[in-house]
Amino acid sequence: MKKKSPVPTASQLRPFSSALLDGPERAAARAMLYPVGFKAEDFKKPLIGVASTWSDVTPCNMHIDDLALAAEAGVNGNGGKAIVFNTITVSDGISNGNEGMKYSLVSREVIADSIETVVGCEGMDGYLAIGGCDKNMPGALIAMARMNRPAVFVYGGTILPGLLKAPHSPNDGKEIDIVSVFEAIGQHAAGKVSDAELHAVECCAIPGPGACGGMYTANSMASAIEALGMSLPNSSAQNAISRAKLEDCRRAGAAVVDMLRKGIKPRDILTRKAFENAITTVIALGGSTNCVLHLLAIARAAEVRLSIDDFTRIGKRVPVLADLRPSGTYSMSALVAIGGIRPLMKTLLDAGLLHGDCLTVTGETMAETLAGVKPYPPGQKIIYPLDQPIKKDSHLVIFYGNLAPEGAVGKITGKEGSRFEGRAIVFQGEEKALHAILDGTVKAGHVVVIRGEGPKGGPGMREMLSPTSAIMGKGLGQDVALLTDGRFSGGSHGFVVGHVTPEAYVGGPIALVKNGDKIVIDSIKRTLTLAVPARELAKRKQAWKKPRPNYTRGVLAKFAAHVTSASQGAVTDLDLKL
């Protein structure tokens, strides 16, 4: 564990705001703040930002304005002075399968940059960020790691499951969510779901505020951030609309002020051991492949050495214990009802799988925060015993081979089998692949190869939720595999491997695959093999020409110009010392 920063004196509680607001020469700055609610005495208090991701863009974030006000009250009630400000969010659920999805991963960088910009410009001594959707969560953590000012992350909470209202369907009353809609599209194309039932699924899947309700990317990253020690205990496992979540926000606001008093900063918390705790927790929960991408990015911002190979090393000894959607049965709200992730973390700690000496935003170690945690209630079926796991090792498989010499990331739960051998059917871009899946061109035995979707090539590394859900909806989940230099939604499942590096745009081997090539995916050996002679591949590489960029101006072009490969977290920070 890193040594904690020296405890500041009373005059040091305002290391940044004092330079902005103190003295006769700063009268104009103070004058600007009286109209937004400051009183004279507030200028003697630490200035604490509350970064809100509220918007009506998505139900994940539609309630966060209320949560921000609760956090503001927590700051003000503990001797700080809060300023609420906004950053952006986008909706993966709306943009998936569309050109707009190329902006999704880009938004992670925009969010990190925007929080850093406001906190830096306005001289904030500390801050908290409230995120409710996939990219604003790691975006907030990247900013915290960069700036290293006292900070707490608050998760906006999970959505409740929808209940299907389809009186003439055998699925009437079934719990559903956004992934149910994507899979129903494939079922509709296969003639298994009527127009009326598809419409019913669409209307019932999202009953209100909160992030997607399985162990998808939002809930996975919320759990990872709690395991990192950067949110308060149990922040990751609360319903979006609940007294518990409002209280979590109030306590988080107070906690930032306490961190200032104790001299605790994010990099005191974001150690290598903390990242190992996050990886362990994500694996045990059966979490999203996006956690690989985001944890690598946060670690780089914190200047902590972390690589994709650490996921293999840790994954060999950590089992999958949670029967949660998409591969499993239960929703996140069901896990909330039995105690959230804390009893699971206590089990992992007692088994020696978590580092208990890691510091948290509470000022206590991880072991101290878990000391009084009670086990799950008897008879629950969501979290399996450690000695009876769903899978004895990680579902997050890092592949290497002549098709992915710099690595690729698979999500193999075991339900799909452990090995797939098939013939490539190649598509340049997601849309063409989706049409071919829905119209029956893709058949059993195919390995669907979707390329040109990498961080640079897309640009933006779109999620392949629409194609993977269509495969499942068409009933091909056991018979078709999918490879891509793009990435997956946390809702994707099946025999899928993404983050293939080097990507096609820079001439990686995935650019050389042709229809009919044999591909072997072996999750036991962790190999991804294109069964084509090296001489033939060299001939193809010589004939390959780099494609023209899809965007030559604007934020997508800027992202493509600066982004690293997926195996390095697809980051755009130019100060890459590691």
Decide the pairing of beta strands 481-484 and 495-498: parallel
**Which residues belong to the active site?**
489
Query: To which residue do tokens 């897309």 refer?
Result: 458
Q: How far apart are CA 348 and CA 336, in angstroms?
A: 18
Cβ neighbours around 21 below 10 Å, total: 21
Task: Answer for the pair 451, 510: CB distance below 8 angstroms, yes or no.
Answer: yes
Q: Which two tokens stand for residue 78?
A: 């503990």
CA-to-CA dists, residue 29 to 21, 35, 51, 80, 340, angstroms: 6, 11, 21, 18, 44
Buried b (16+ CB within 10 A) or exposed e, 219-230: bbbbbbbbbbbb
Cβ neighbours around 462 below 10 Å, total: 31
Query: To which residue do tokens 């290293």 refer?
Result: 148
Q: Which two tokens stand for residue 352?
A: 């020696």
Q: How far apart are CA 77 and CA 188, in angstroms?
A: 54
Q: Which two tokens stand for residue 341?
A: 């992730």
Q: How far apart are CA 570 and CA 531, in angstroms?
A: 28
Cβ partners under 8 Å of residue 89, min gap 6: 53, 55, 57, 58, 60, 61, 107, 111, 131, 132, 133, 135, 136
Cβ partners under 8 Å of residue 124, min gap 6: 16, 17, 47, 48, 49, 83, 118, 149
Cβ partners under 8 Å of residue 184, min gap 6: 193, 197, 198, 201, 202, 473
Task: Answer for the pair 65, 242: CB distance below 8 angstroms, yes or no.
Answer: no
Map residue 515 onto helix, strand or coil: coil
For residue 195, the one-letter residue type is D
For residue 513, the one-letter residue type is V
